[in-house]
Amino acid sequence: MIVTTTNDLPGARVLKVHGVVRGITVRSRSVIGNLGGAIQSIFGGNLSVYTNLAETARQEAFDLMVAHAAAEGANAILAMRYDANEIMDGITEVLAYGTAVTVQVG
């Protein structure tokens, strides 16, 4: 699956537009994760507990989006974007979305 943040794919011809595809995950920080993050924040720098949580959520949303596109018969996703919102304290939604297309490369 080709995934790009651009609106077109140089060298490829769009044969079919399948429409918007998305992957969504909702994650919460655990009590242990919050404790680890609090301890790391005392020392400053990268809060790896939260970095890992964010990366895991983005990857899961991305994988779900790609699966949605594949189920639609697409072989590429154009204009891919991420969005994240805090639903409530400590609970975050991460959304990956884009336009599923069938492209011919070359």
Q: What is residue 1's DSSP assignment?
A: -
Domain limits, the chain: 2-105
- The pair of structure tokens assigned to 30 is 């655990």
Q: How many whole angstroms separate alpha carbon 40 and alpha carbon 45? A: 8
Model pLDDT, residue 27: 83
**C-alpha–C-alpha distance, residues 44 and 3, integer Å:** 35
Q: What is the DSSP letter of 72?
A: T
In CATH, the number for domain 2-105 is 3.30.110.70
pLDDT value of position 26: 93
Mean pLDDT in consecutive groups of 10 residues from the start of the chain, 106 residues:
96 97 86 54 63 89 98 98 89 95 94
